[in-house]
Amino acid sequence: MYRQVLSGSLFIVGTAVGAGMLGIPLVTSSAGFLPALFISGLIAIFMAITGLLLLEAVLAAPDGSNILSIAHLSFGKMGQVLSGIPFLFLYYCLLCAYFTAASSLMLDGWQAIFGYSLPAFGANIAFLMIFGSILSFGMKWIERFNLFAILLMAVSYFFVLYLGSAEISFTRLGKANMQASFWATPILFSAFGYHNIIPSLTAYFKKDKAVMQKAICTGCFCVFLIYALWQCVILGAVPENILHAAKNEPPSYLISYLQQKGTIWGYLLSFFAFFAIVTSFFGVSISMMDFLGEALGKKQIGKDRFLIASLTLAPPLMVSAVDPRIFIRALELAGGFGESILNGILPVLFVFFAKTKIASKGLLHHKGFLLLCFLFALSVFFLEIVGIMSG
């Protein structure tokens, strides 16, 4: 059992941790480390709860069910269609963020190596040709390359923490503005998203509820620890004005600042950031291609696979080319709207209005508790609306 829990936890960590964490310290810098730690912990607990709620719905549904088929089971055809909208919105926003971030890092790397710059759209096309082509090779090659990228990301992460810890200023870590921390919730929602793999993991572990519950809780706790250490180093080592300015710039802005200071961990951070983007890109692209293939009734072979890949990658490619500074905004929209509905509100509604028998009882099934969770997810949705309206 413990081996299964470890395996499931690593799947959850691998799904959640990625490009989203690059934006976390940029939006928590105004709050300070301790408030950032508090709000990160709160979101980690909430996303663990909604993961457990989704697990209940998956266990009660027929074998092979996913979020959209559960929505159809719970609310009919219209419910399935309405659930598909936030799914598309969420994953297109994430892909926009990944294209923007990857192209900015590739542009900086090209400039450093060859001494001249490329147009931003050229970097987007290069990223698409290299990593989009890997998607066309099929799952076997994707799995191999993704494992390689995850290992590189993990090694560089620990080196970044080790070298960056020497730059920490405890004066910077001492700042505290609790009110400002709540504005970070949309991006934290996107950074803690892992729910899309719960149906697959549940089937893989033969609907073993105890294993899945432990894997979800352990995985969310590990993601929280990873983000807590990450924020400690970045918030403690980088001046707040630089982090604030980086919110409106491509991800390479912060990395360029650190490299100009002559610190080697700036170069390691660039390495880490790129492979965090790549691992996230593969996971999101595969989920999106599976969704579009099912929606269009197309099999992912030959010309149909090329069509599905084009529909998946072309829209975010064009958006990122038009606005290369959309990284933070895309993550905020993904978390504030996509994650809050798809992985916040929907799991609550699945259990609240369950049409199939859910055997277990307890706090997760208490109507008052479910209502509280619903209101919390809804508050993040409206918080994002307020953020957009206030500019």
- What is the percent of the chain with per-residue pLDDT over 90, rounded to a whole number? 26
Lowest mean pLDDT among 59-73, 111-125, 155-169: 111-125
Please report, as a single letter, which amino acid is at residue 53. L
Task: Provide the H-helix boundaries in the chain.
Answer: 2-16, 20-28, 33-60, 67-114, 120-127, 133-136, 139-164, 170-173, 178-181, 185-191, 198-204, 209-237, 240-246, 252-260, 264-296, 302-322, 327-333, 340, 346-352, 367-389
Left, alpha or beta for 183 (phi > 0: left; psi -120 to 50: alpha)? alpha
d(CA 36, CA 17): 17
User: Mean pLDDT lowest for which of 3-12, 203-212, 255-264?
Assistant: 255-264
Any idea what the CATH number is for the domain that residue 51 is in? 1.20.1740.10
**Range of 21-30, 102-111, 275-284 with top mean pLDDT:** 21-30
Mean pLDDT to the nearest integer, 26-39: 93
136-150, 224-238, 282-296 — which one is most confidently predicted on average?
224-238
Residue 226's pLDDT band (cuts 50, 70, 90): very high
Mean of pLDDT over the chain? 85
Q: Which of left, alpha, beta for 206 (phi over 0: left; psi -120 to 50: alpha)?
A: left
Residue 221 pLDDT: 96
pLDDT for 116 beyond 70 = no
Mean pLDDT on 258-274: 78
Higher-confidence position of 382 and 284: 382
What whole-number percentage of the chain has pLDDT above 70?
Answer: 94
Task: Tell me the residue type at 298.
Answer: K
pLDDT: is 244 or 299 the higher one? 244
- Position 355 scores a pLDDT of 53
Q: What is the mean pLDDT of residues 322-339?
A: 87
- Domain membership of residue 250 as a residue range: 2-389
Q: How confident is the model at residue 307 (pLDDT cuts 50, 70, 90)?
A: confident
Residues 6+ apart with CB under 8 A from 350: 53, 54, 56, 57, 70, 71, 74
pLDDT tens-digit profile of 335-357? 889 999 999 999 999 988 875 55
The answer to whether residues 302 and 222 touch, using CB atoms and an 8 Å cutoff, is no
Number of domains in the chain: 1
Closest by CA position to 330, among listed 87, 153, 101, 84: 101
| Cα–Cα distance for residue pair 237/348, rounded to 1 Å | 39
pLDDT in tens, 127-146: 888 888 877 776 677 777 87
pLDDT of residue 135: 76
Q: What is the pLDDT of residue 213?
A: 93
Q: Burial code of 356-365, b = ≥16 C-beta within 10 A, e = fewer?
A: eeeeeeeebe
pLDDT at residue 146 in the model:
75
Q: What is residue 114's predicted lDDT score, i.e. its pLDDT?
A: 67
Lowest mean pLDDT among 85-94, 196-205, 268-277, 360-369: 360-369
The alpha carbon of residue 328 and the mean position of all alpha carbons in its chain are separated, in whole angstroms, by 12
Q: What is the predicted pLDDT for the residue at 225?
A: 95
User: What 3-state DSSP class applies to 313?
Assistant: helix
Residue keyed to tokens 């609790």: 178
pLDDT in tens, 148-191: 888 888 898 999 899 888 888 888 888 888 888 999 999 999 99
Looking at residue 341, its pLDDT comes to 93
Residue in the block written with tokens 């719970």: 74
The answer to whether 219 touches 234, Cβ cutoff 8 Å, is no
Say yes or no to pLDDT of 110 above 70. yes
Q: Is residue 367 very low, low, confident or very high in pLDDT (cuts 50, 70, 90)?
A: confident
CA distances from 234 to 28, 292, 353 (A): 10, 38, 43
DSSP 8-state symbol, 165: G
Q: How confident is the model at residue 41 (pLDDT cuts 50, 70, 90)?
A: very high
